[in-house]
Structure 1
Amino acid sequence: MTQTLRFTLPDGSEREVAVRYALNAGYAGRDTEQVQHHVDELAELGVAAPQRIPTLYPLSASLVGRPEVVQVAHAKTSGEAEWALVVGADDLLLTAACDHTDRALEVHGVAWSKQSAPDLLGDVAWPLSEIEHELDQFTLKAWVQHGETEQLIQDGTLAQLLPPSYWLTQLGERLVPGTVLLSGTIPMIPGVDQFADAWRVELTDPRGVSSRIVYNVEQLAPAWD
């Protein structure tokens, strides 16, 4: 089963891609100290480090989308600001992404937790061939909202993450048309509560063009155990 997502390119044109496969990279920072920082962040939540760094988690393509509301089973879930590589029929697109994850389930298995919540993609996408030379200048930011208060929780650049070229080399023919690859994330700002009522993510190019994601988090009623 596939679903079709539409992206607006910086020149105003639109591109549609039928999503067939989803891959989530993890622990994919270029700076080993920052990678260790993320490992430590997750360790505080009881998540063991993977045996291989960087790592990769195949997901159901049905999890990729743009929901305005992410419904969750409990209060311990959160997003992560990332970029996403979208493999089209004839080209590659880059857009903003947010990997929403069940942090309580994550302590039992990262792959399981990533199957429990969606991968959200941005509205604007850039042809990779046109911006690959300047990717390190792209900024990546995320904000969380608690009630009426919004707070910056992630603030960095794509220079902190392994570039798309790394994954293109590593995965090769596995990146067939319809594949969406999420990059892994940058560190969160210490002291900011990630378990929020809403998330906002922006990926911005050097000319000020942004790809945006905005969604609310709704906690469902408890199960009848």
Structure 2
Amino acid sequence: MFPLRFEVAGEPVEVRVSTLLNAGYAGRGQDDVAAHVAELAELGVPAPTRTPCLYPVAPYLAMQVDEVPVQHGRTSGEAEWALVVAGPDERDVLLTVACDHTDRELEVHGVAWSKQAGPDVLGRRAWRLADVADRVDELTLTAWAGGERIQRGTLGELLTPQYWLGELRERGLLAEGTVLLSGTIPMDVGVDQFAGSWRVELGDPATGDTLACEYAVRRMPEPVA
């Protein structure tokens, strides 16, 4: 598997992903969780039996790419943050921006299956979690689909990085090479998520710094079968 490479405070950090996890239905408030369940229900996705959820994903699906090939027109991303465990120490835990690109046709048959049908696209820059931990709730998440803003919120709407570090520790997964995506915030009302491009930004209002990931969605040729 190709390693992920991040710029962290001007220095390169390389991580070989051994465990990739996608959190789901991870809003801190039940209203946000209910809103996301309703969004997915409109697409035919059955409600989970418990929240939050945690879906293991093939590690090779953690990518830093400019283009995502898809099989049909009903795929879309989601604005998320990602934890990246880059080493054994507390300061080796990185925070970056991510977009979970999901096959919505397959999702109606099983969320876990759909997570295997598209990549988790991560940014190429990251912050050390310890450097932003005192203001993590104020960090912003914004997404655009096809140039139209589709999501806007703060990390205060989602379960915290510390919560997920505790979950990883409890499950024996807090180890170098683990990457966890946060789950997403609600989408704006009336927007079209099935677009030809996606951009997600993770912003720090205290410094004005922004991490971004952006990619085009490319439709593959029809199968010959």
TM-score (norm 2): 0.95
Which of 142, 147, 155 lines up with 2:152 in the alignment?
Answer: 155
CA deviations on 1:94-149 (whole Å, 9 max, x unpaired) are 0000000000000000000000000000121111111111101111000011xxxx
Structure 1 unpaired stretches of 5+:
none
Contact preservation (8 Å) 1:87, 1:179: yes
Q: Which residue of 1 aligns with 2:182?
A: 183
Displacement of 1:84: 0.2
For residues 186-218 of structure 1, what are the alpha-carbon distances to aligned partners after superposition, in whole Å with 9 as ceiling and x for unaligned? 011011100000001100112111111110001
- Asked whether the equivalents of residues 95 and 126 of structure 1 are also in contact (C-alpha less than 8 Å), the reply is yes
Alignment correspondent of 1:174 = 173
Name the structure 1 match of 2:223. 223
* One-letter amino acid of the counterpart of residue 165, structure 2: L
User: Deviation string for 1:158-202 (max 9, x for gaps)?
Assistant: 000000111111221312110100000001101110000000110
% identical equivalent positions: 55
Note the residue ranges of structure 2 that are not aligned, 5 or more in a row.
none
> How far apart, CA to CA, are the structure 2 residues paired with 1:93 and 1:16?
11
Q: Supply the AA of the counterpart residue of 2:130.
A: S
1:65-214 matched pairs, under 5 angstroms: 65-90=63-88, 91-145=92-146, 150-172=147-169, 173-206=172-205, 207-214=207-214
Q: Distance in 1 between matches of 2:2 and 2:85?
A: 14
Offset of 1:81 from its aligned partner? Answer: 0.5
Partner of 1:26: 24
- Verify the 8 A CA contact 1:27 1:55 in the aligned structure 2: yes
Q: Which residue of 2 aligns with 1:12?
A: 10
SS at match of 2:10: coil
Deviation at 1:88, TM superposition (A): 1.1
Normalised to the residue count of structure 1, the TM-score between the two structures is 0.95
1:54 to 52, 55, 65: 52
The 2-side partners of 1:22 and 1:3 are apart by 14
2-structure distance, mates of 1:142, 1:74: 21
> Any runs of at least 4 consecutive aligned residues in structure 1 with deviations exceeding 3 A, and if so which?
none
Q: Deviations over 1:25-69 (max 9, x none)?
A: 000000100110000000000001111200000000100011211
SS in 2 for 1:30: coil
Aligned partners of 1:49, 1:26: CA distance in 2, in Å?
Answer: 11
Amino acid at match of 1:127: R
Which amino acid counterpart does residue 13 of structure 1 have in structure 2? E
Letter in 1 for 2:132: I
